Amino acid sequence: MTAPIDKPRSGIAGAAENRMLIEYDAMIEELRTRLNILSTSLFLLHESSKPEDPKLSRYLKKINREMEKIRQIISNYPKDHK
């Protein structure tokens, strides 16, 4: 059984666990940042595209759906769990 996230362990094992949590937090924040960049890029691409291009519209919708799935996975991880 692992220790709860909000109650860090002490000693070497606790330090390693704390470092891992910090690295995990950094990774989640990087993913959030990259998703925001992708979302903005897709929005701009959509705004600059021809509305009568059904193929492009389908591709953009697929990408947006997949990005939403990633957002949902990430949102299950709270920003501040300490």
What does 8-75 look like in DSSP terms, one character per residue? PPPHHHHHHHHHHHHHHHHHHHHHHHHHHHHHHHHHHHHHHS-TT-HHHHHHHHHHHHHHHHHHHHHH
pLDDT at 3: 44
Is residue 38 within 8 A of residue 80, CB to CB? The reply is no
The model scores a pTM over 0.95: no
Per-residue pLDDT of the chain (82 residues; tens, 9 = 90+): 444 455 555 677 788 888 888 998 899 899 999 999 999 999 898 888 877 788 888 898 899 999 999 999 888 876 655 4
pLDDT of residue 7: 55
Task: Tell which residue, 46, 45, 42, 48, has the closest CA to residue 66.
Answer: 42
